Amino acid sequence: MKYNQKLSIEYIDIVEDPRLEEKDCILETEVGMLNATIESQLNAIKQALLGK
């Protein structure tokens, strides 16, 4: 089963964004945006470890 079938997504478009660092990822959907950059992931880990 393809990822778009698992997620009930009809269309997926992968676009390179020169503003992002290598291996960074930002997901945009009809319902919102998910920042999955390395920096945002490290910040989330830091906040979890500090209990914030």
Helix (H) or strand (E) holding 5: helix 3-6
* Nearest-5° Cα angle at 13, 27 to 16: 70
* Nearest Cα residue to 37 out of 29, 25, 21: 25
Encode pLDDT of 5-47 as tens digits: 566 767 778 889 999 888 889 888 878 888 989 999 999 999 9
Q: pTM of the entire structure?
A: 0.56
Encode pLDDT of 12-22 as tens digits: 788 899 998 88
Residue 1 CA to residue 11 CA, distance in Å, equals 15
Residue 47 CA to residue 9 CA, distance in Å, equals 31
